[in-house]
Structure 1
Amino acid sequence: MRNVMKATTLESRFPLLAVEHGCIISKDADITAAFEVELPEVYTVTAEEYESIHATWCKAIKVLPDYSVLHKQDWYIKELYRPDWEKEGTGFLARSNGMHFNERPFLSHRSYLFLTKTTKERMRRQSNWSTLCRGHIIPKEIQDRETALKFMEAVEQFARILNDSGHVRLRRLRDDEITGTEKETGIIGRYLALTTEDTACLEDIAMSAEEMRIGDKRLCLHTLSDTEDLPAAVATDSRYERLSTDRSDCRLSFAAPLGLLLPCNHIYNQYVFVGNSDEELRRFEKSARNMQSLSRYSRQNAINCEWIEEYLNEAHSQGLKSVRAHFNVMAWSDDTEELKRIRNDVGSQLASMGCVPHHNTTDCPTLFWAGIPGNAADFPAEESFHTFVEQAVCLFAGETNYRDSPSAFGIRMADRISGKPLHIDISDLPMKRGITTNRNKFVLGPSGSGKSFFMNHLVRQYYEQGTHVVLVDTGNSYQGLCEMIHRRTHGKDGIYFTYTEEKPISFNPFYTDDGVFDVEKKDSIKTLLLTLWKSENEPATKTESAELGSAVNAYIQLLGRDKGIVPSFDSFYEYMRDVYRKEMEERYIKVEKSDFNIDNFLTTLRQYYRGGRYDFLLNSAENIDLLHKRFVVFEIDAVKDNAELFPVVTIIIMEAFINKMRRLKGVRKQLICEEAWKALSSANMASYLQYLYKTVRKYFGEAIVVTQEVDDIISSPIVKESIINNSDCKILLDQRKYMNRFDQIQSLLGLTEKEKSQILSINQSNDPARRYKEVWIGLGGTHSAVYATEVSMQEYLAYTTEETEKMEVRELAEKLGGDMEAAIRQVAERRLEERTGQ
């Protein structure tokens, strides 16, 4: 039976013959090398870096032999986020976070590069010679093996130039990634189905002058194929106004509006056709002469002659390489109304670049066919325009989405464009790669910037991954999270210490689990005693420090000999008063009171001895064991203004952490100080603080200081020397309150102009449909980006510092027998219902 339908099989028209050794061979004997391209992350590239990337592309293209085609194909596909429940964690908050982001739509980006070696004749052919139009394709044989070998050498040079740039990386695609396997579809199959799914299947392709359709997907094609459609000028990058301020610039590539900023399913095709530049210029010379001779008959000829002359002058004066180029945006949808909106969106994005939007329906089938990976040589010559390499590269898509860290350890943040969850490692991977030399972090954010939310979010995830967390807080910021952990672990973790008149915080600095006092333990006791004795502006002398160290050592030796003595400050005080003072008097070499005044020492510390004002502080009978508690919060808001208690409490907490740091081998430790660092900034504590910050990295630990006052960090040299200089990870939140003083912060933290621009872009263009705050994270002064801290309603209620919200949850928890988790679940469900109802 004769086929009366105007249809044929894909097999008979298919232009590709084979894939061998990572190369695609067409039936017309064209050879194509295929790569996956890794571009820099969006909003992380400066104007200078865009210039460098542009120069690298130009340098690489110039090594390609004549009659080569560069086809860069960027895929932007809408996808829905699916949590990996095995990695999410089993905790209530981890699950709620996964449910919050479940099926969150985002624009996935993949970039590919195809380098094709063809012939002079093939590059000149027009659309009527496309393989799509031919009745039968007879495979040709590669005649010149030497040409093929030279082309592959050029391809290797091309890849090396880009990979050595440090900004763009190429990865050669394997054969099965191109053709696919029994279980997964290759890139060719995905293109013919316009999908990124691994199990894509081919569908009917309908082509006409009015519309092209693949299955239910209707195509919409906009082309830049004529110089009249192009902007008056192009550049390597452009200023993105929505994230820029009058003091900072956010830069994107010139073609960014056709990439991540175009929120629909689309493919952005970029072609550069490298012919024989000298031959092209000679042809232009001839054409200019013809135009000149005919100029008297038409003013248009005179204008064309002038344009050609200008093109030739530019080429010869600057030694530019003449090429042809073409760019198109291929978008699609299965909904007619959505397709109209997409058409308008693509047109407006092109117009924002200064281009004339040209919606092309007639050439859509041939351009789609030429876009098949490995079939760029089939591109119709009349759809391209003449230009130079430098100008053509300006229209390349230059950035991609934020990438997940390959590390198993990390925290979850969100992409600032789409809100897609991101897994980032700001502790281990930067150390392995040499980006940072320590895991310490410095956090700066004014009140209301979302600092507490970010820190709660960070410590919760660190804790769930096995970290021992010690928090020193001054504002009940972690109370909700701590109580949830306490109930879930049945009191093993989630220990919350707070100071009240009825139950004040008390410690025993002379207590150890196993009775072992190493050098660091002795030094910490000595430092504590010096802090209690000397005022902030009165540094201890070398003799006083040495004598007190000797006294501590002698007391510890006494404990070893006499097991009847209970280790405590009281027994140490009695030892100093009754034994050590007498031993000093009997020495052959007398110690003058001007060198070490033991009476002054005993008088000053009398208030911490039995019967004194603060006798509870250093004589705890409970002997708190923090060594195996994985989440401990010290709330010291009630003593933060007490000049005598605050330094003592904080130093004992630090000593407890150092004990944990030394004793727990191979376990991640984290010390977080919200405002306690102020007490550690005195002259007496400087060496202790420096020791902690320099040593903690050796014990798989990290120290984090959180502050909200710029004046505090600017005015304290101790903070700068001890904390900032030893914190390779810096985290800043919204700094708009300090916009006019940010130069001071920039100088103090050693921030680059790039980092300054990123920080000042925080919260400048937030999506009103999502509730989140942005945060800037900088690593080692070389890697930095802005992320979104977005949490579920359940996490919000656990982290909130708003008094009314905390009270609502607490009152409901009391009714439910103290079950914070159940209370948060009920309040969250009610609020989500109210929000949905509105």
Structure 2
Amino acid sequence: MIPLVVVFSIVMAVLFLRSRLSDDGFVSLDESFPLWKVENDCILAKNGDITVCFRLTLPEIFSLSGAEYAALHGHWVKAIGILPAGTTLHKQDWFQEAGYKADFEQDGIAGNDGDDFISGCRERFFHERPYLQHESLLFITWTAGGSRPGNSAASNLLKKSIVPKGALDNKRMQELLETVGKFQKLLSDSGLIQIKRVFSPEITGGPDKPGLLERYLFLLKENDRPVLKDILLKPDWKIGAAFPELFTLADVEQLPAGCGPVMDYTKYATDKTRFSVGFAAPVGLLLPVNHVYNQYIRILDTSTTLKRLEGKRKRLQSLSAYSRENSIAKDATADYLNEAIGDNRLPVKAHFNLLAWTENRDGLKPLRGNVAAAISHLGAVPYQESAGAPQIWWAGLPGNEGAMPENECFDTFVEQASCFLNMETAYRSSDSPFGIRLGDRLSGLPVHVDISDEPMKKGMITNRNKIVVGGSGSGKSMFMNHLLRSYVSQGAHCIVVDVGHSYEGLCELLDGYYFTYTDEEPISFNPFYIPEGALLDTEKKESIKTLLVALWKQGDETFRRSEYVAISNALSGYYTFLKSTGTVFPCFDSFYEYLQTAFVRELQNDGVKDRDFDIDNFLYVLRPYYKGGEFDYLLNARENLDVMSQPFIVFELDNVKDHPILFPVITLIIMEMFISKMRKLKGVRKVIVIEEAWKAIARSGMAEFMKYLYKTVRKYYGEAVTVTQEIDDIISSPIIKEAIINNADCKILLDMKKFQNKFEAIQEVLGMSNKGRDLVLSINRANDPDRRYREVYIELGNQLMKVYRYEPSPEEFYAYSTEETDKLKVKRYTEKFGGDIKKGLAALVADMKSEGTA
């Protein structure tokens, strides 16, 4: 038990409510303070009211469909329906302006030479980014009999002393706790809300952290230090340096003509799709000012209420002949009674108010304009309280819900009242240690998102594979650069098969291997190379055999068991030969020479016939890859051989993507290289990214290999990512559906506006729901013109669907840009600093900022 007089002893000693509410002009808070103590984690008021406190974790905004909002509304109705008569539910949502605090302890932040240069640039870029910090509190108050004020004049703010109406007993407390336990269970069962009790230390606060009561009295943030402020009610209302304004929905004349769990958010809608947000969203996160949204629902005794309203109806009927207003009021009362009895509705009293504030007196006018516009979006009439504002504000004090004047409430049913509850919150960061940094859709606030490990643990997905779809100019390459940089910085090994020079800057930043094909420097590999100290294992042997067979046989040619045995023997003999000599370099040339000499003699000694293994045909077909042949460079590389230890490798195949021989062979070598890496690197995340190259792979008869890769990679802590921009390929290709889509539980889509007229076909192939379709077609429809970013849709296992921002820092933008002019700028600045791309990027951005063009 923690007496509030102890917690607030300092406050009460020096703090006064300055107002003309008494003869001397001052009312001591000690005299008017309505609360008594905190016991069993409940707030006990001096008049006998008991309040239980909760903290709510709500669904993230823009993440629910209309059906999900309706289901959530239904859970609220059920939960409120079990509360006994005389209970007041008070939901209090805080929205406070805040700024993002960068983590300046990271490498690269303070200009040091840390490896994570890009993370440092990003942290500086987002430092102090403004956003609305939201938290949702819920108070359930069991009102003591006869303690409820009938009108504003009876508020306990105006009383010199408060005398309890009756003594509290443990039985009453126990009944309340049992009821709120059931309430908590019903609300949690929705699967969309987490509800947790708030215990005594958080209610009362401490020397370093304000409690709920101090925060409300002084408009403090959760992490602010406790501070005392004067509260001035007249002539101007002030709380410390803040100028508050109170707007209410407390009269039927102010209410909208209709309400529901959802409303259309036209900014993200199209002529073919609707976009849903919660009905109260305009006075929640969509209102960009400091404000507290208070929602009160008081449960009434049904029989008493109906009897009272029946009497009112009869009085109005007798007076209806004298006034049309009385006639209309009589009909409205009759309709209310008919619905209450016919549909078994629970009658309630409801009140909603919005307390907004600014610390700049000149900001009061725009503040009022913003709040009035937000209330108007509900279809309601904005009403600014003046005379009754102190009493209504005072009733918002946690534990003092019973002080809400009854003349400030209106009669309604729980179904309608629940529509006005704030249903959503801001984007949250994942607690997972692994992930990527994206942005809140409203403000761009950085959030940590795990689209691989956490969804696997929660059972949302069964594999980590991804398909990324986005038209030209949608920001696809920029996003993929960001994803891969994030993965590599967290220990992943990535291999990229690209056809558009999209990863050149990233590869230089990460000091990776960049293989590209030109006539002057053609791409080359060495699948025969084994690092010093390593052994020829079965995996390596099988990989080389697969390559040799692919070089020898066409897709329609048969392959006999005897040929497989002969090639296997040839490889075993070759590596024995290498070990015995110790001077021969392992490559295709030395392997070919071994076949011509030692292996031919071995076949002759063993009496192997040509029908079993035609060595002459084998040597003839492979001759172009031997020295002097057309492709003698391809399998004889002597540089960058240890790909197993290199975490980032890019194969740029733009110049050979249409070559009928080179492209399939090169791709097969890359695939086999990745599979070898995938199986040998234990406990390390492995990622292979196949850009538009998948189309050429499919044409080369390698669809089965793609299926094998996608099904196998998940078993080895790996991810296969396919990236495409050709929408027609998605619709028409059975390969991408059978081999890729069906085995990729994570779907990432970027701007699809230009394809909205044929999106139904894309939706069907991708297996997307209507909710996913609406989210995808909302991308980039209401972007902030003052910021440079693109939006991205991420779907996990057809369960979690959300749109994020990806807003690169200037350094990221120029490092990842695929525009030729941007690449030339980066190259020029990099050369100025002796090839150091990090210093080059920093200088480029600094110069552009000074010119005002960054």
After TM superposition, the structure 1 stretch with the greater mean CA deviation from structure 2, 558-567 or 402-411, is: 558-567
Q: Distance in 2 between matches of 1:627 and 1:313?
A: 77
What are the superposed Cα offsets for residues 473-514 of structure 1, whole Å, 9 maximum, x if unpaired?
Answer: 22221112222332xxxxxxx222222222222112222224
Q: If the length of structure 2 is used for normalisation, what is the TM-score?
A: 0.92
After TM superposition, the structure 1 stretch with the greater mean CA deviation from structure 2, 53-62 or 409-418, is: 409-418
- The residue aligned with 1:698 is 715
Aligned residue for 1:123, secondary structure, equals: coil
Asked if 2 retains the 8 angstrom alpha-carbon contact of 1:88 and 1:98, the reply is no
Question: Do the aligned partners of residues 831 and 623 (structure 1) sit closer, same or farther apart at CA in structure 2, a change above 3 Å counting?
Answer: closer
Unpaired stretches in structure 1, ≥5 consecutive residues: 487-493
- The residue aligned with 1:82 is 101
- The residue aligned with 2:229 is 203
Residue 528 of structure 2 is aligned to residue 510 of structure 1: yes
Equivalent residue letter for 1:552: I
Q: CA deviation at 1:138?
A: 3.9
Superposition pairs of residues 74-473 of structure 1, within 5 angstroms? 74-87=93-106, 90=114, 91-138=116-163, 142-196=167-221, 197-208=223-234, 211-473=236-498
Residue 569 of structure 2 is aligned to residue 554 of structure 1: yes
Q: CA deviation at 1:446?
A: 1.1
Q: Distance in 2 between matches of 1:505 and 1:566?
A: 19
- The residue aligned with 2:92 is 73
What are the superposed Cα offsets for residues 791-817 of structure 1, whole Å, 9 maximum, x if unpaired?
Answer: 111111111111112112212322332
Asked if 2 retains the 8 angstrom alpha-carbon contact of 1:526 and 1:548, the reply is no
What are the superposed Cα offsets for residues 297-337 of structure 1, whole Å, 9 maximum, x if unpaired?
Answer: 33332222111111111111111011110001110112122
Question: Do the aligned partners of residues 685 and 574 (structure 1) sit closer, same or farther apart at CA in structure 2, a change above 3 Å counting?
Answer: farther
Aligned residue for 1:725, secondary structure, equals: helix
Aligned residue for 1:270, secondary structure, equals: strand
Q: CA deviation at 1:548?
A: 4.5
- Given candidates 1, 25, 40, the residue that maps to 2:59 is 40
Question: Do the aligned partners of residues 747 and 278 (structure 1) sit closer, same or farther apart at CA in structure 2, a change above 3 Å counting?
Answer: same
Q: Distance in 2 between matches of 1:485 and 1:121?
A: 72
Asked if 2 retains the 8 angstrom alpha-carbon contact of 1:67 and 1:123, the reply is no
Give RMSD over aligned pairs: 2.3
Aligned residue for 1:60, secondary structure, equals: helix
Q: CA deviation at 1:577?
A: 6.0
Asked if 1 retains the 8 angstrom alpha-carbon contact of 2:96 and 2:289, the reply is yes
Asked if 2 retains the 8 angstrom alpha-carbon contact of 1:527 and 1:688, the reply is no
Q: Distance in 2 between matches of 1:747 and 1:87?
A: 44
Aligned residue for 2:398, secondary structure, equals: coil
Q: Distance in 2 between matches of 1:627 and 1:574?
A: 27
Q: CA deviation at 1:818?
A: 1.7
- The residue aligned with 1:675 is 692
Q: Distance in 1 between matches of 2:279 and 2:88?
A: 22
Question: Do the aligned partners of residues 747 and 574 (structure 1) sit closer, same or farther apart at CA in structure 2, a change above 3 Å counting?
Answer: farther
Equivalent residue letter for 2:515: F
Superposition pairs of residues 595-744 of structure 1, within 5 angstroms? 600-622=617-639, 624-682=641-699, 684-744=701-761
Q: Distance in 2 between matches of 1:79 and 1:477?
A: 36
Q: Distance in 1 between matches of 2:834 and 2:790?
A: 34
After TM superposition, the structure 1 stretch with the greater mean CA deviation from structure 2, 29-38 or 692-701, is: 692-701
Equivalent residue letter for 2:565: S
Q: CA deviation at 1:588?
A: 9.3
Equivalent residue letter for 1:554: N
Asked if 2 retains the 8 angstrom alpha-carbon contact of 1:762 and 1:775, the reply is yes
Q: Distance in 1 between matches of 2:138 and 2:436?
A: 32
- The residue aligned with 1:498 is 516
Q: CA deviation at 1:540?
A: 5.0
- The residue aligned with 1:491 is none
Q: CA deviation at 1:388?
A: 0.3
What are the superposed Cα offsets for residues 372-408 of structure 1, whole Å, 9 maximum, x if unpaired?
Answer: 1111111111100000000000111111111011112
Question: Do the aligned partners of residues 241 and 600 (structure 1) sit closer, same or farther apart at CA in structure 2, a change above 3 Å counting?
Answer: farther
Aligned residue for 1:399, secondary structure, equals: coil
Q: If the length of structure 1 is used for normalisation, what is the TM-score?
A: 0.94
Asked if 1 retains the 8 angstrom alpha-carbon contact of 2:438 and 2:806, the reply is yes
- Given candidates 42, 46, 57, the residue that maps to 1:27 is 46
- Given candidates 533, 541, 561, the residue that maps to 1:522 is 541
Equivalent residue letter for 2:60: E
Asked if 2 retains the 8 angstrom alpha-carbon contact of 1:456 and 1:799, the reply is yes
Aligned residue for 2:483, secondary structure, equals: helix
Question: Do the aligned partners of residues 623 and 793 (structure 1) sit closer, same or farther apart at CA in structure 2, a change above 3 Å counting?
Answer: closer
Q: Distance in 2 between matches of 1:429 and 1:639?
A: 39
What are the superposed Cα offsets for residues 314-362 of structure 1, whole Å, 9 maximum, x if unpaired?
Answer: 1111110111100011101121221111111111121121101111111
Equivalent residue letter for 2:521: K
Equivalent residue letter for 1:200: P
Q: CA deviation at 1:682?
A: 4.7
Q: Distance in 2 between matches of 1:120 and 1:588?
A: 107
Q: CA deviation at 1:571?
A: 4.5
Question: Do the aligned partners of residues 626 and 61 (structure 1) sit closer, same or farther apart at CA in structure 2, a change above 3 Å counting?
Answer: same
Question: Do the aligned partners of residues 326 and 643 (structure 1) sit closer, same or farther apart at CA in structure 2, a change above 3 Å counting?
Answer: same
Equivalent residue letter for 2:231: I
Equivalent residue letter for 1:643: P
Q: CA deviation at 1:719?
A: 2.3
Q: CA deviation at 1:576?
A: 5.6
- The residue aligned with 1:64 is 83
Aligned residue for 1:436, secondary structure, equals: coil
Q: Distance in 1 between matches of 2:250 and 2:595?
A: 91
- The residue aligned with 1:757 is 774
Q: Distance in 2 between matches of 1:236 and 1:214?
A: 34
Q: Distance in 2 between matches of 1:675 and 1:724?
A: 15
Q: CA deviation at 1:768?
A: 0.7
After TM superposition, the structure 1 stretch with the greater mean CA deviation from structure 2, 629-638 or 245-254, is: 629-638
Q: Distance in 1 between matches of 2:324 and 2:73?
A: 37
Q: Distance in 2 between matches of 1:549 and 1:42?
A: 59
Q: Distance in 2 between matches of 1:299 and 1:772?
A: 58
Question: Do the aligned partners of residues 248 and 580 (structure 1) sit closer, same or farther apart at CA in structure 2, a change above 3 Å counting?
Answer: farther
Q: CA deviation at 1:43?
A: 0.8
Asked if 1 retains the 8 angstrom alpha-carbon contact of 2:658 and 2:696, the reply is no
Q: Distance in 2 between matches of 1:434 and 1:728?
A: 11
Superposition pairs of residues 556-595 of structure 1, within 5 angstroms? 556-562=571-577, 563=579, 564=581, 567-573=586-592, 592=611
- Count, aligned residues: 821
Q: Distance in 2 between matches of 1:4 and 1:294?
A: 43
Q: Distance in 2 between matches of 1:120 and 1:179?
A: 26
Asked if 1 retains the 8 angstrom alpha-carbon contact of 2:529 and 2:641, the reply is no
Equivalent residue letter for 1:834: E
Unpaired stretches in structure 2, ≥5 consecutive residues: 1-21, 109-113
Equivalent residue letter for 1:182: P
Aligned residue for 1:121, secondary structure, equals: coil
Q: Distance in 2 between matches of 1:323 and 1:597?
A: 91
Q: Percent identity?
A: 47
Q: CA deviation at 1:429?
A: 1.1
Aligned residue for 2:146, secondary structure, equals: helix
Question: Do the aligned partners of residues 625 and 836 (structure 1) sit closer, same or farther apart at CA in structure 2, a change above 3 Å counting?
Answer: closer
Q: Distance in 2 between matches of 1:298 and 1:638?
A: 87
Question: Do the aligned partners of residues 17 and 755 (structure 1) sit closer, same or farther apart at CA in structure 2, a change above 3 Å counting?
Answer: same
Question: Do the aligned partners of residues 833 and 140 (structure 1) sit closer, same or farther apart at CA in structure 2, a change above 3 Å counting?
Answer: farther
